Amino acid sequence: MSMIKETAPDFETDAYFDGDIRKVKLSGYSGKWVVLFFYPGDYTFVCPTEIEGFAEDYGKFKEKNCEILSVSTDSAHVHKAWASSDPRIGKVKYPMLADRNGEISRCYSVYNESKGSALRGLFIIDPEGKVRYETITDDSVGRSTEETFRVLCALQSGGLCPVNWHSGQPTIKKS
């Protein structure tokens, strides 16, 4: 069931970022756009490519008043160990959230009960806390940071954006 235009479920959990483990609450980002992405697990194959990609593009998301939050069922301590042992993950400046019991993943309908991990889900949440975009892909397919950024810009434009629309292009006018 789609969550589009629904209030994003709030949560509070441990997260690793800025070299430390601290509590993060989704509602703490009120007034900002949020890209919330779930991934199956640390120390895997496709996941570090996505995490590194969002780390490399983090600055341009920040320029759009957007925070990035990644979530897996690993603990914040495992995130910290991974960041210190893998230079790709060491680039991350955004919070890496722990969802040890799958509670957050279940709230967003991305929990894989049989594997005990999150599916590859991504949500864009607006400054009022409403889900404006959602996608879930097969574990074998990484997401595109470029497409995520394009969709964020389209949502922020306030217009009707046609296929392959990019920032600076005209939007469709209602007649």
41 within some domain: yes
127 within some domain: yes
Backbone angles phi, psi at 131, to 5 degrees: -75, 125
27 within some domain: yes
CATH number at residue 128: 3.40.30.10
Place of tokens 């964020």: 152
Residue 175 has pLDDT above 80, yes or no: no
Domain span holding position 55: 12-142
Q: pLDDT tens for residues 2-30?
A: 999 999 999 999 999 999 999 999 999 99
6 within some domain: no
Residue 47 appears among annotated catalytic residues: yes
77 within some domain: yes
53 within some domain: yes
Q: Global pTM?
A: 0.96
- Residue 1 — very low, low, confident or very high, per pLDDT cuts 50/70/90? confident
153 within some domain: no
170 within some domain: no
- Per DSSP, helices labelled H in the chain are 47-63, 76-85, 87-90, 103-107, 145-157
Number of structural domains found in the chain: 1
